[in-house]
Structure 1
Amino acid sequence: MKISPEETTAFAATREKSTHVAGVRPRDAASILLVDRSSNTPKVLVGRRGSGHVFMPDLYVFPGGRRDPRDHALPYRSDLHPLVIEKLLVGSRSGMGVKGARALALAAIRELCEETGAAIIDALAADLSMLRYVARAITPPGSVRRFDTRFFLGFLDEMSLDLSNLGDSSELVDLRWLDMADLSSLNMPLITRKVLSEVKELMAADPSPSFGGPVPFYSARHGQLVRTRL
């Protein structure tokens, strides 16, 4: 997937709108694309960040947030696929280890529940075995907040989730299932749109993607958006 000059300009413009802060180090974070593929056109759950947020206000994003120390201790029913763990460890800081990789997935599930009202059905223990690792992105230098975000893909039909209380929270409002065939209808950060496009192409090639495929990695280099693979 090529990055156009227009997209690179948009990436730089987004960074310049934020208060420029030097020396902010990226914090580990996780996000989840929860996809409903029950109809002919898959849909993904997104919500709008409130206008009071310092980071990405008023933009539609996937549920997610930074990894907390307590995420290591969260219960899980089934572990991540070994190939997913292997990919999560590629390029990560030394010493993260398997527990740290698993904590990223647990953070994504925790944030999904906290931000949307979704709940885990099976004894509050998450099933991580069906999560795919589909992208990684680091917020560029100079941003008021910086995150090293790992994006997971979860299919609604493969996850034991209760969505009966799905609704707005202090983090995300106007929750909606976005038609993945139309990515132009909402105001999204460039990186959210890029990851969504990646997953759309992935699912077009295989509606049930493998667990060990190449993972696109977005980062900044000399003010330019760069895409490599893990």
Structure 2
Amino acid sequence: MSSENIPVRDAATIIVIRDRHAAPSVLMGQRGKAAVFMPDKVVFPGGAVDPGDAAITLAGPLPDACARRLGPDGATFAAAGIRELWEETGQVAGCRADWAEAPGDWRGFAATGHRPDARGLRYVFRAITPPGRPRRFDARFFTLDAESLASDPDDFSAAGDELANLKWIPIEEARGLDLPYVTAIVLAEVAARLPSLDTPDRIPFFDGDAPEVRDAAR
């Protein structure tokens, strides 16, 4: 398949921020050298929306302002981001509840004694991967205060193997790392608004087909 015909898949990313009032840091990891998409790059946890994410019932909904901006697929994006955060870092954005009927790719999450909870998420950015990449995503970025995690923020023992070197990185240090272009843009936007994690008045949108940052319609 030529790069011009690469399908654009919906995706979700969660930027977890720690100590935002004093010395803010973000949770990031490094993609493997053999990864098809962005090898070796330092990234936030996130990935493509799976078909089953639309069927997940969130224990806590997105804040109203975020839900309005995201439209009818908002809960699906939130579920995808929470799932990816769990799979890649072992961190739990959830609330205490039994979930005996959890589908297969959520059973590890359910085994922690939680259901996914989107109340702490804030929708802050949208970006479409530019053409010419082996994979392309239409990603919605959320922030989450580390204090909202239901897990130990320093325990990555349940993480999968997609990201290496998981750690909390001071924001100023992170901006000097080998980041994907879009990640650097998002990080700068988030850093400029700290310590606030309120829902922004506008959602910046980086459209890779016409690279510029403008307001997102959704």
> Does TM-score exceed 0.5, indicating one fold?
yes
Displacement after TM superposition at 1:208 (Å): 3.0
One-letter identity of the residue aligned with 2:64: P
Contact 2:131 2:209 in 1 (8 A): no
Percent identity among equivalent residues?
A: 37
Question: Taking structure 2 as the reference length, what is the TM-score of the superposition?
Answer: 0.83
1:1-230 to structure 2, matched below 5 A, reads: 21-37=3-19, 40-89=22-71, 97=72, 100-119=73-92, 120=94, 122-123=96-97, 124-163=114-153, 165-167=155-157, 169-203=160-194, 207-221=195-209, 225-230=211-216
Summarize deviations over 1:92-136 as a string: whole Å, max 9, x none.
xxxxx2xx2211111111101101122345232122112111110
Distance across 2 between alignment mates of 1:164 and 1:177: 8
Question: Taking structure 1 as the reference length, what is the TM-score of the superposition?
Answer: 0.79
SS in structure 2 of the partner of residue 77 of structure 1? coil
One-letter identity of the residue aligned with 1:102: A
Summarize deviations over 1:29-87 as a string: whole Å, max 9, x none.
00010011266211100000011111000000000000001112224221001110111
SS in structure 1 of the partner of residue 26 of structure 2? strand
Distance across 2 between alignment mates of 1:211 and 1:201: 14
Q: Which runs of 5+ in 2 are unaligned?
A: 98-113
Q: Which runs of 5+ in 1 are unaligned?
A: 1-18, 90-96
Q: Find runs of 4+ consecutive structure 1 residues off by over 4 angstroms.
A: none
Distance across 2 between alignment mates of 1:191 and 1:226: 11
Displacement after TM superposition at 1:175 (Å): 0.6
Displacement after TM superposition at 1:142 (Å): 2.6
Distance across 2 between alignment mates of 1:217 and 1:200: 16
